[in-house]
Structure 1
Amino acid sequence: MVNTEDFIKRIEILLDYYSLNASSFADKIGVQRSSLSHLLSGRNKPSLDFILKILDVFPEVDLYWILNGKGIFPKNKHNTSPDDNVLVAQNKPNAPTPTPKEIEPENLFSEIQNGITQNNVDVEKRKKEPQLNETPLNEVEKIVFFYTNGTFKVFHPNT
């Protein structure tokens, strides 16, 4: 989370560095002057859109520096290493690589019979399902309605 007081100090550093007042800074990055004023007074917190506009207009501003004060300003390509700005995914040598089958999302609407998942129900099973005029094997015993005021009501469909 961004510390708003420290963020305001970094915005003030930007204003001094570029010799801008708050109004011209707001105009330059394309935000309303009142938005910047509310931010500088501590009334509002910076939005992601606000930060992205700063980074777009002022490429010398480092994302990590503006957000949490880590890094340098102005960022200089000669002073930064590739590790400063790039997050690299590292493979752990002992971790097994998942197969495409393991990565595949589970079908929550499949049927499970005898431990085997079946995505399609066979036609024979459909024929054996009870029809409207037959009594189903599993009948609803009761339905309970819970209300926001803490009360509840029980409904027994067979009575």
Structure 2
Amino acid sequence: MNNSNEIGERIAHIISNYGESINSFEKKISVSTNSIGAAIRKKSALKSNVLIKILEVFPEINPTWLLVGKGEMLLSDTKPETTSSETTLASLELDLKRKDFEIKGMLLEFQELKEDVELLKKITSLEEKYIDIVDQKLDKAIDSKKG
């Protein structure tokens, strides 16, 4: 099973856990209608900005669980009373996890773009070879007409 399929399943679990419909969930996180539903049905990848929106609207969702399936779906809500500095530290740690998650998403997108560039280079090289072959054939045809 690929990671995008697993992420889709985890998002479906979130939707179910919150008693939402896919449509209401999409509205709640401000994404286009049927974008999440289609991704879940087609088992296709979601862009990192969609995953970030989920974490912004549902800050209690564990980013590590959403991205890679490790840990619990919800961040622990059974923490003991904390002081202001502990709350600030916890908030900073959560922000750090979100930023780390965002960076991982960007790295995945960068790798995909890098692979696309390599593919385009190969296609361009093949097109140049094809053009050379066509040019040679045209030159032969022109030479045979002259001769």
What TM-score does the superposition give when structure 1 sets the normalisation length? 0.48
Which residue in the other structure is 1:44 paired with? Answer: 44
Query: Does the aligned pair in 1 maintain the 2:26–2:32 contact within 8 Å?
Result: yes
Q: Distance in 2 between matches of 1:48 and 1:23?
A: 19
In the TM superposition, residue 42 of structure 1 has moved relative to its aligned partner by: 2.1
The one of the two structures with greater contact order (alpha-carbon pairs below 8 A, sep at least 6) is 2
Identity score, percent: 25
Q: Distance in 2 between matches of 1:3 and 1:43?
A: 9
In the TM superposition, residue 71 of structure 1 has moved relative to its aligned partner by: 1.7
Alignment of 1:61-100 (within 5 A): 61-76=61-76, 78=78
| Aligned amino acid, residue 15 of structure 2 | L
Indicate the SS of the match to 2:44. Answer: coil
Q: Distance in 1 between matches of 2:9 and 2:75?
A: 17
In the TM superposition, residue 43 of structure 1 has moved relative to its aligned partner by: 5.2
Q: Show CA shifts across 1:6-35 (max 9, x none).
A: 112211211121110100000000001221
Which residue in the other structure is 1:111 paired with? Answer: none
Q: Show CA shifts across 1:30-74 (max 9, x none).
A: 001221121111253110010000000000111110011012121
Runs of 5+ unmatched residues, structure 1:
88-145, 152-159
- Runs of 4+ in structure 1 over 4 Å off: 84-87
Q: Distance in 2 between matches of 1:8 and 1:36?
A: 8
| Aligned amino acid, residue 4 of structure 1 | S
| Aligned amino acid, residue 40 of structure 2 | L
In the TM superposition, residue 77 of structure 1 has moved relative to its aligned partner by: 5.3
Runs of 5+ unmatched residues, structure 2:
80-89, 98-124, 133-147
Which residue in the other structure is 1:55 paired with? Answer: 55
Indicate the SS of the match to 1:31. Answer: coil
Number of matched pairs? 90
Q: Distance in 1 between matches of 2:47 and 2:58?
A: 17
Larger radius of gyration: 1
More helix per residue: 1 or 2? 2
What TM-score does the superposition give when structure 2 sets the normalisation length? 0.51
RMSD of aligned C-alpha atoms? 3.0
Which residue in the other structure is 2:128 paired with? Answer: 148
Q: Distance in 1 between matches of 2:18 and 2:78?
A: 21
